[in-house]
Structure 1
């Protein structure tokens, strides 16, 4: 038998095949502590034969130096370190993790085992440092005497899985941050009992300071029992179809000290399904739109009020025009009177608009109405009035009445003379069981007063319209020393209501 035949026979335990088998046949084992293959113990041959046939990456570390013998799958793992690793000492072959492998050798040769899951190591497999993760299982290999002679390692790289999990974890963390920072309220409910799994700060603000995580929604928010929300949640869960509502009324107890609060919300219940199509969760997302609903309600009221005021204003202008034309002696007189009265109406509207038509102070009504050309600052009026807030309709009616009195005084009464004056006294009093508002207009220093033979728009407004508008009474005295106008009305008819402030 030739030397070559003897060599072939020595490697017969490897079986047939190329790749790592051929490299093992060609390697100069006599230059290593293992010696020529012909001298290998049966345990080493058997272990080598087993590992080269495995499709799982396996490396055997023989003897105290940990001489490396591995299979084809491990050569792929080794990268550019293969084939130099074959027959090398493990501490030198993987010098960057020498301490780690030193520990492995000590434990394995002492008969111990080691197992690592997703073990992180930095290897130089392609000429540069590379962060990798692996599942590693180490077991001792016994010789013929039952003594640990080497260590066998099953090496399964998990870098791809670990990196994927890390990426998913980062994405999950990012989603949690978005969840927490979202401008809308959000919650995740699990199962048919709708157990709270997580919620963001806006949802917490909506329900108040209470711990709901891990609790069924019905137990966590009992005040919602008769408001229809649980039926909608059940509908979304059992049908697998999203449920949406807009401007839905919600009565919630966010604080026991405050009690039930009315809120309005837009929301959607979005079913979350598993791979099998079964609904597992309900994602709740929505917005507290209470301010929007209130604003829309106010807008509707304002539009309705605006329509009402426009109609009233047009009716007032029509009445002013009709009554003025009916009583005027000439077109010039009618034109001047109509202009003055519409201007007075405009000033009164401006005054109320500045207060958003919530009302006006009595002092502002007096200042607005008692504006006469040539008499800035009211030096010829002596006014006494209490602090009183008038409701809009009363303020407008009183302003127009005062304007008519002032115009009449300027044309025919006390203010037509340089020394003429007007005393105006406004007061509140209690008569029997009712609070009343009284205003007295008293002229003095003017020409002698006579009862007028003709009644124009001004007296129609003062004697007929004003008492109806204010639910009060009016008396006009044409005394020789000066005209006296007296108004008495229930305070409740002219004072601004408390809920309008």
Structure 2
């Protein structure tokens, strides 16, 4: 039957009404024909009908119980009741709001149109009966006067001469419909009416069960996929025995031994083997608190079978049974090792930053005082102090760009000071590349190089065309056998007799080299103003150096 074409009748969902011959149609509220005023007396025939009904319902239940697919349940139910009542067509559909959605049909001799359609076109007498929860039986469509002539014609044209229908109401809403159709007039018995109602209810219940089970399986599948994808361990234990019931794959990566071994573990034996003894009390206290119904988070350390130590952050929470008692414990174990390491590193960096900041403030204060003592005017102070601050800034820029474990190298620091003053043929640099300086030495070394460069630009080799600056450096073993950096700064082509007397004295640059470097870096220094220009040497300890750098130093 075309659902859209016969919208007032809607897939054999029918209501009571009078026939053309004056006898009533039936809408059954109980096992019997409604509206005929006859009280039925139970007979042996009635008992036989009841036995057959119960036998059929048992068969139906057995058949539906083993099915898990909602559509398969509906198809099987339509077939069983169709064969049992020997009808020409059975339909089952679901109702979503105002839309009828056909799901299954049984029609051994015909094809069945299963198009969906609206419920809103039902006749008022049909809607009223279905809203009352009544099963509706029409014995003979041809004489049912509550149908219009056009409706009767269309029903008969598609082979519906009699039908029995029932729409399920749940919480005041239509949710499903079961209808039986016959090609010839048929008197529907009270037992058949009641059976239709019961089958509809059972099909709906079995369908909902199957949907709930499918949803549960899908949910479990999503949870399983989530657990398998998670880098954290998700686990469930029996609250009483503490035996594992579920552990996700991340367990093996964090704890270092197979899940199967942990699943077979009872009373935490295997788990306890990897927990550091001094941390086990924290773990035991957390488990006890969760058993009492508390949610707890704590951290502990483990020693994996491969010897690697890891930090684990664990959250444990109670899982309650239907009586509200703690029956299981759920947990999330997170590998917090990297976070712990990062936190410790950050604390070191913060301490280093505080130290550098205090040191930098002290250096700037000292620079300001020394510069003020040397300068004779505010303009001179602004220039000299600005240049010295720029040198400090360049040193800090080098330090701030370092990655973990990296060091500022000497040649890079030297070139940064000289690059704005170097002229072709006037500066010679020679020495091994990438000699690492201690971080604590960078700032003082940078200021020393700045003072030497500034002096060379103002009075020395870089202040005249005939002047030449040569800077050579090499690695030498110190008294303790460690490698030290030796720097030789030599200026030539300078008539020192013409250098102003103030430039020959003990200014800040010379004081920095002769006093600050030995004090702060335990360096050995010399500073001499020769007839040809300044000659300065600095020997200072350096950071660790690789064998390759030693080879390069030897080659240079």
Per-residue CA distance 1:135-177 (angstroms, 9 max, x = gap): xxxxxxxxxxxxxxxxxxxx99576257425513532432342
Answer 1 or 2: higher relative contact order, Cα 8 Å, separation at least 6: 2
Give the alignment partner of residue 516 of structure 2, picking from 449, 461, 465.
465
C-alpha distance in 1, partners of 2:254/2:267? 14
Contact 1:463 1:475 in 2 (8 A): yes
Consecutive unaligned residues of structure 2, counting only runs of 5 or more, are 1-29, 58-76, 91-104, 110-176, 182-198, 547-556
- Corresponding residue for residue 101 of structure 1: none
Per-residue CA distance 1:379-398 (angstroms, 9 max, x = gap): 42212222311122222221
Specify the SS of the correspondent of 1:474.
Answer: strand
The alignment status of 1:445 with 2:493, answered yes or no, reads yes
1:355-366 to structure 2, matched below 5 A, reads 355-356=402-403, 358-366=406-414
Give the alignment partner of residue 358 of structure 2, picking from 311, 326, 343.
311
Contact 1:252 1:263 in 2 (8 A): no
C-alpha distance in 1, partners of 2:294/2:528? 79
The alignment status of 1:352 with 2:399, answered yes or no, reads yes
C-alpha distance in 1, partners of 2:83/2:222? 48
- Corresponding residue for residue 402 of structure 1: 449
Give the alignment partner of residue 464 of structure 2, picking from 417, 430, 436.
417
CA-CA distance at 1:219 after TM superposition: 3.0
- Corresponding residue for residue 206 of structure 1: 254
Contact 1:236 1:271 in 2 (8 A): no
C-alpha distance in 1, partners of 2:407/2:209? 68
- Corresponding residue for residue 385 of structure 1: 431
Give the alignment partner of residue 238 of structure 1, picking from 278, 286, 291.
291
- Corresponding residue for residue 528 of structure 2: 477
Contact 2:312 2:333 in 1 (8 A): no
Specify the SS of the correspondent of 2:236.
Answer: strand
- Corresponding residue for residue 62 of structure 2: none
1:172-191 to structure 2, matched below 5 A, reads 172-181=217-226, 183=230, 184-191=232-239
Contact 1:438 1:488 in 2 (8 A): yes
Give the alignment partner of residue 54 of structure 2, picking from 53, 57, 71.
57
TM (norm. structure 2) is 0.59
Give the alignment partner of residue 473 of structure 2, picking from 426, 435, 439.
426
The alignment status of 1:279 with 2:326, answered yes or no, reads yes
Give the alignment partner of residue 456 of structure 1, picking from 507, 515, 520.
507
Greater shift after overlay, 325-334 or 310-319? Answer: 325-334
C-alpha distance in 1, partners of 2:466/2:528? 21
CA-CA distance at 1:298 after TM superposition: 3.4
Specify the SS of the correspondent of 1:57.
Answer: helix
- Corresponding residue for residue 377 of structure 2: 330
The alignment status of 1:218 with 2:284, answered yes or no, reads no
The alignment status of 1:488 with 2:539, answered yes or no, reads yes
C-alpha distance in 2, partners of 1:193/1:414? 86
Contact 2:276 2:301 in 1 (8 A): no
C-alpha distance in 2, partners of 1:476/1:216? 77
CA-CA distance at 1:84 after TM superposition: 11
Aligned residues: 383
Specify the SS of the correspondent of 1:281.
Answer: strand
- Between Structure 1 and Structure 2, the one with more strand by share is 1
CA-CA distance at 1:289 after TM superposition: 4.0
CA-CA distance at 1:243 after TM superposition: 1.6
C-alpha distance in 2, partners of 1:443/1:195? 81
